[in-house]
Amino acid sequence: MGHKMSTQEVYSLAMRTFQRIGVTCKPIDQPLTRSLIERLLTYLDHRGLDWLLDETLGHIGFSDDEIVARDELVAQSDLIVVVGGDGTLLDAARSIAGRDIALIGVNIGRLGFLVDVCPDEIETQLNSIFAGRYHEERRAMLQGEIRRGDTVIQSGIALNDVVLHNRARVRMIEFETRIDQQRVNTHRADGIVVCTPTGSTAYALSGGGPILHPELSALALVPICPHTLSNRPIVVTGDRRISIRLCHGSHTSAMAAFDAQNTVDIEPGDEVHIWRHPTALRLLHPPGYDYYEILRKKLRWSEHP
């Protein structure tokens, strides 16, 4: 059993660590985004904290001399505040993979499974977080690469999922899945989703996959519209290595996507290799965070027709 920090230990760590705050946002110029970030910067100034603005803020009216490149933001920040939706947080999460940097999400999107700081309560909730009163999660991430023969043609990182899917609109593809080099199945389907517990409430959920609690060390493989109805999702332990090979007999080409934001074309014979990234994401939530409440709210459980 690992040592569980006391409240005082968490408080001391927060006060010592979170001194330079990076700010990134959804790169769409909306009045709400601009006004919220101005409130955030005023708040950080009042607390005497240094801050850096990501290059995405150039899209909402901040000048070039006010912003820095994403690499510089990541290199100099202790904590990054993400203003946007889950997609904005996914982008930030991939940027900090392998670094001991925490993320906080301020929700101006729609679903908001990951970004849960309320804009109307941003000062109050950040007060609690900077005082050390927060819930911290370690969210598993994925690492993957596309191999064409002996050559790696692209690699990527994902917090939600790595997806193989057809590029044609109405044709299935044929592909083989292996887990730790053991053959699992040869599928005829529109594709397959390999997801973390975080990604189990994203694309995988719409494909009939199970909801995995974020604390589980697990991966799910969820076929997309399989031709055979017995081709069901499968859950394996998080330390497994997944490989997917597009069969030579497949009559259409395919595409692999990391978090639906980083894509590469796949040809017959190419292989997608996926494994858990060695470093988990540090995701902070305000006090009172309740995973099951988020599920009830976002998935509209317990609502009467």
Residues classed as catalytic: 86
Going by C-beta distance under 8 Å and a sequence separation of 6 or more, which residues neighbour residue 202?
Answer: 86, 113, 160, 161, 195
Q: Are 107 and 83 in contact (CB under 8 A)?
A: no
Distances from the Cα of 205 to the Cα of 36, 102, 160, angstroms: 31, 26, 11
DSSP H/E element including 218: strand 218-224
- Closest to 37 (Cα-Cα) out of 19, 54, 17, 20: 54
Token code pair at residue 64: 């070039």
- Phi, psi (5° rounding) for residue 174? -115, 130
Q: Packing angle between helix 122-130 and helix 31-46, nearest 10 degrees?
A: 40
